[in-house]
Amino acid sequence: MVKSLRSGNVYPASANVILYTGWPQVRDYDGRTHSSDLTAFGDDYGIKLVKISLSTNAGEVRRDAQSILQAAATTEALMSKSLLLKRRRKLIFEVIPIVYAPNLDGPRIDDGEVEFADSESELFRLLKTSDQSLDPAQRDEVQAIIEGAKALGQLADADDDDELHPIARAYRDLEAIIYNFDASQRSVALTGIQGPQRIRGLAGTGKTVILAMKAALAHIENPNAKILITYYTRSLRDIIERLITRFHRHFAEVDPNWENVHVRHSWGRSNVPGVYRDTCIREGIAFRNFGDVKTKRDPFGSVCRELVEAHPPAPFYDVILVDEGQDFPDSFYQMCFFLAKGPRDQKQIIWAYDELQNVFDVKVREPEQLFGDDRDGAPRISLARSLPPGTDTNDFVLQRAYRNQREILVLAHAMGFGVYKAPVQMLENAKHWEDVGYDVIAGPFTTGSVNVVERPLVNSPSTLATPADVGLIDIRAADDFGSEVEMAAHEIQRFIDGGLHPHEILVVSLDDKAARSYFSALSKTLAACDIPCNNIINDPYSEPPFRLDGKVTLSTVYRAKGNEAAVVIVLGADAAVLETRTGRNKLFVAFTRTKGWLRIFGVRSRTFAALEAEVAKARAKSPRIEFTMPDMTNLNTIQRGLEEKHARIIEARRRMDRMKDELSLSDDDIASLFTEE
């Protein structure tokens, strides 16, 4: 499942061609998996799927021919679902299966359905056969189908009304941008590495989507493998299962086998599956719930540590994917290490995290700390040690944030760090700012220095064309609790009147103590307007779906993590403790849940006035953030944690993206430069 670089060896340097190895993978009606060893797709060449058959036996070569024919037939069927790629009910280009069999004894095979090549020159001739030229929109459509991004478009609600309200039209246009992989996301999602991987990125960079796609692809590749995808926020289960289902249906045209694909909360409950609970059952030991250990400083960490130290579990999963990795204790990672099959450097453990989204004040930890030491004293997991020969990296950084509008993301960072008041946390250095998608404009980043960073549009490319009378961000103080609830209800009604669906609106309470009161009052107010609500904190002992069609979602920050909505309305913002990292992070998480509009409400107070002043200053300086570097010894420093080689790769990618943007170059232009060299 490795996506290759563009080729300059077979095709002319000017050719717009992408090569894939081991891709696509498809499933036939009998459940067998078929894949192409090499797939070439280009504007003027159609799609060529190549199976490399090194056998000398004609029967084995014919079996390979049937396999690549099945892969081609399924690929053609996928393409045929798009009206953009059809003319007179037929595809406008060909999907051609090719078998490369250089060692075949006996006469050349010619069955009329599959092209056969017995030499490199013949293979190159077939690959270079021209076909119908595609325009940019058709090319993007083909690429989205091949790589699975097309499945994401199904997450959006379909609207056939050409006379949409400007609010609804702006949001539908935005979703078309969000639900499309960029080159970095595609590379991470489609790259298969035998061994551990780490994926990091800001909120909205696609980490959950990538993990779900990896789970679906691993299931297609080996339907009998046991695959685990786990998470911290209980409300994430529904969206993860929906994503895996969409990807799996896209490529295999059937639903996943949930007996082998486990979407599990990390802990679980006595009546709800979870990684820890399931492990206890398999190992025949007593399961401990929160009530048993609630007096412990780290309840979940303590039960995982107790299990690992007293009874290391037996290997069970072929692939383990961990979302929201920043929230888990070390002992949970160590439990996952034992649950994963294979030698330590080949264990398929893939974890993703956002070091800026932790609401539990836990520092970023390197793999050596997360997984601990093995019996020989060496780290159980070392990314550098396990990097396969010839592989660039197994430590991926996603810089482009598609979920949030640039102004909102810059605001969220400024508020999360506290740069316009008294910083409570800070990135390690200038390079770390670049890692998360900013350009360094000025400053040495030493204690007391004045520094300026700017978020370029290329790293926040999703732009919402909001109507002139509908501000992207609004912050307002209410006179009292009741007035604040009325303000929220008015905004919800406004967006629904503008064509948004109730389930595209999320209300987040920053005041944990008053959350139930807020949601009870708001639910009653909205019910009078025939707008139902999905209050996900009503039942704290289950994993309710975060989104229910036709209902406004009401959530705390902790339940909202990992989820998103077109509109986010923050209630109780006056309860945010601006002097603490936890208070700042709650603001950051709440703000970055929105794909579109942000509303911030609170009761008039000194705290809320301070919050308003910071928001105003941050917006005035956006897309830049200006700050004086604090004394890092007095702060929580968010560590960069990149090994030097990986850091150089990230820097090279950042500079290439910048050069492409400034010179209006395509990926193929860049590829041709390397080819010519």
Q: Average per-residue pLDDT in the chain?
A: 87
Q: Domain for residue 155, yes or no?
A: no
HEC secondary structure over 437-500: CCEEEECCCCCCCEEEEECCHHHCCCCCCCCCCCCCEEEEEECCHHHHHHHHHHHHHHHHHCCC
**201/280 same-domain check:** yes
For residues 587-598, give the mean pLDDT.
95
Q: Domain for residue 166, yes or no?
A: no
**278/296 same-domain check:** yes
* Of 625 and 354, the one with more pLDDT: 625
For residues 593-615, give the mean pLDDT.
97
Q: How far is CA 286 from CA 295, 313, 317, in A?
A: 19, 13, 21
**49/67 same-domain check:** yes
**135/213 same-domain check:** no
**664/605 same-domain check:** no
For residues 550-559, give the mean pLDDT.
94
Burial of 222 (C-beta count, 10 Å sphere; 0-12/13-18/19+): middle
For residues 5-15, give the mean pLDDT.
55
Q: Output the six-digit token pair for 547.
A: 């989104």
Residue 412 above 90 pLDDT? yes
Q: Output the six-digit token pair for 339.
A: 């649950």
pLDDT digit string, tens, across residues 319-378: 999 999 988 999 999 999 999 999 999 999 999 987 665 544 445 678 999 999 999 999
CB neighbours of residue 180 within 10 Å: 20
The number of CA neighbours under 13 Å toward the Cβ of 367 is 28
Chain Cα centroid distance, residue 295: 35
* Of 10 and 626, the one with more pLDDT: 626
In the chain, pLDDT over 90 holds for what percent of residues? 55
HEC secondary structure over 296-343: CCCHHHHHHHHHHHHCCCCCCECEEEECCHHHCCHHHHHHHHHHECCC
Q: So what's the pLDDT on residue 360?
A: 43
Q: Domain for residue 153, yes or no?
A: no
Q: How many H helices and E strands in the chain?
A: 23, 27
Q: Output the six-digit token pair for 431.
A: 């390079």
Residues across the chain: 677
pLDDT confidence band for 157 (50 / 70 / 90): very low
Among the candidates 147, 178, 199, a domain finishes at: 147
**276/329 same-domain check:** yes
* Of 389 and 519, the one with more pLDDT: 519
pLDDT digit string, tens, across residues 115-126: 999 888 999 999
C-alpha span between 561 and 324 (Å, rounded): 9
DSSP for residue 616: H
**513/596 same-domain check:** yes
**392/522 same-domain check:** no
Q: Domain for residue 47, yes or no?
A: yes
Q: Are 14 and 119 in contact (CB under 8 A)?
A: no
Q: Domain for residue 525, yes or no?
A: yes
Q: So what's the pLDDT on residue 235?
A: 80
Q: Which range marks the domain in which residue 517 is found?
A: 406-638
pLDDT digit string, tens, across residues 42-86: 888 899 999 999 988 888 999 999 999 999 998 998 899 888 898
For residues 194-218, give the mean pLDDT.
88
Residue 588 above 70 pLDDT? yes
**135/230 same-domain check:** no
Residue 193 above 60 pLDDT? yes
**422/566 same-domain check:** yes
CA end-to-end span of the chain, whole Å? 28
Burial of 635 (C-beta count, 10 Å sphere; 0-12/13-18/19+): middle
Q: Give the closest residue to 508 by CA, choosing from 517, 497, 519, 493.
A: 519
Q: Are 235 and 225 in contact (CB under 8 A)?
A: no
Q: Domain for residue 156, yes or no?
A: no
Q: Domain for residue 167, yes or no?
A: no
Q: So what's the pLDDT on residue 363?
A: 56
**382/445 same-domain check:** no
pLDDT digit string, tens, across residues 481-522: 999 999 999 999 999 999 999 999 999 999 999 999 999 999
Domain count, the chain: 4
Residue 468 above 50 pLDDT? yes
Q: Are 186 and 147 in contact (CB under 8 A)?
A: yes
* Pick from 168-172, 218-222, 662-666: least confident: 662-666
Question: 633: domain CATH number?
Answer: 3.40.50.300
Q: Domain for residue 504, yes or no?
A: yes
Q: Output the six-digit token pair for 596.
A: 């579109």
In the chain, pLDDT over 70 holds for what percent of residues? 88
CB neighbours of residue 588 within 10 Å: 25
Burial of 455 (C-beta count, 10 Å sphere; 0-12/13-18/19+): buried
- Verify cis geometry, omega within 30 degrees of 0, for the bond prior to 24: yes
Residue 155 above 70 pLDDT? no
Residue 572 above 90 pLDDT? yes
**424/302 same-domain check:** no
pLDDT digit string, tens, across residues 260-303: 999 999 999 988 899 999 999 999 999 999 889 999 989 999 99
pLDDT confidence band for 109 (50 / 70 / 90): confident
Among the candidates 332, 367, 398, a domain finishes at: 398
